[in-house]
Amino acid sequence: MSVQYYANPDTNGNIIGFYGDDIWDVTKIPTTAVKITQAQWLDAIVNQGKYVIQSGSLSLAATPTMAQQLTTAQTQKIAELNDKCKQTILGGFTSTVSGVSYQFSYDAEAQSNFTKAGRAFDKAIITSIKWTAYDSTGNVVRLTLDAPTFDSVFKDSLAHLNTQLSKFRDTLQPQVMACTTVAQVQAISW
């Protein structure tokens, strides 16, 4: 007996799943799924996005217009650049303490620690704090930061944050949106 294949669409007709009655109990296959041949199933698996379900049957997807392709490319590029911006922010920053350049963490935990320590300094709860940094060879160094030194490091953290956000929001994102071709969009990088 041959296998009956099914393609299941989302509400827009895009295929979101395939089923075969050799594996699936037919009563468990979604009622929105439509019957397709093995050849259609193989082609749809290999060429994802080629087909949609329209009026209860498998149809070739419409070829996106140049404007739609550009919009898709812009959306994808902005998401890519946003991710790179976040990675760069979380990757840390450099600050100089007592004439020596150190790398400081700036992940979510470090940002929270900066906020808490800043409040403690502001309320005069502490006058110094031990802080973890990394020297030029990547070794962990514990620094004692007094209030002015902490403020300087904190200022550098904010400058790092602002520089990355500005690069993304004020430079790269407007460049992406000003593009008139997919190739121009693809040429933009962090």
**What pLDDT shows up at residue 49?**
87
pLDDT-derived band of residue 62, with 50, 70 and 90 as boundaries? confident
104 pLDDT more than 80: yes
**What pLDDT shows up at residue 64?**
83
Q: Are strands 51-54 and 15-20 parallel, antiparallel or unpaired?
A: unpaired
Average pLDDT of the residues in 33-59: 93
Average predicted confidence (pLDDT) for the chain: 95
Instruction: Indicate the burial class of 51 (C-beta count within 10 angstroms; 0-12, 13-18, 19 or more).
Output: buried
Question: Is the dihedral angle over the CA atoms 67, 69, 72, 75 positive or is it negative?
Answer: negative
4 or 63, higher pLDDT: 4
Q: How far apart are CA 178 and CA 103, in angstroms?
A: 36
What does the pLDDT look like over 83-92, one tens digit per residue?
A: 999 999 999 9
pLDDT-derived band of residue 73, with 50, 70 and 90 as boundaries? very high
1 pLDDT more than 80: no
Q: How far apart are CA 105 and CA 113, in angstroms?
A: 10
What does the pLDDT look like over 15-36, one tens digit per residue?
A: 999 999 999 999 999 999 999 9
Q: Which pTM does this prediction carry?
A: 0.70
164 pLDDT more than 90: yes
63 pLDDT more than 90: no
158 pLDDT more than 80: yes
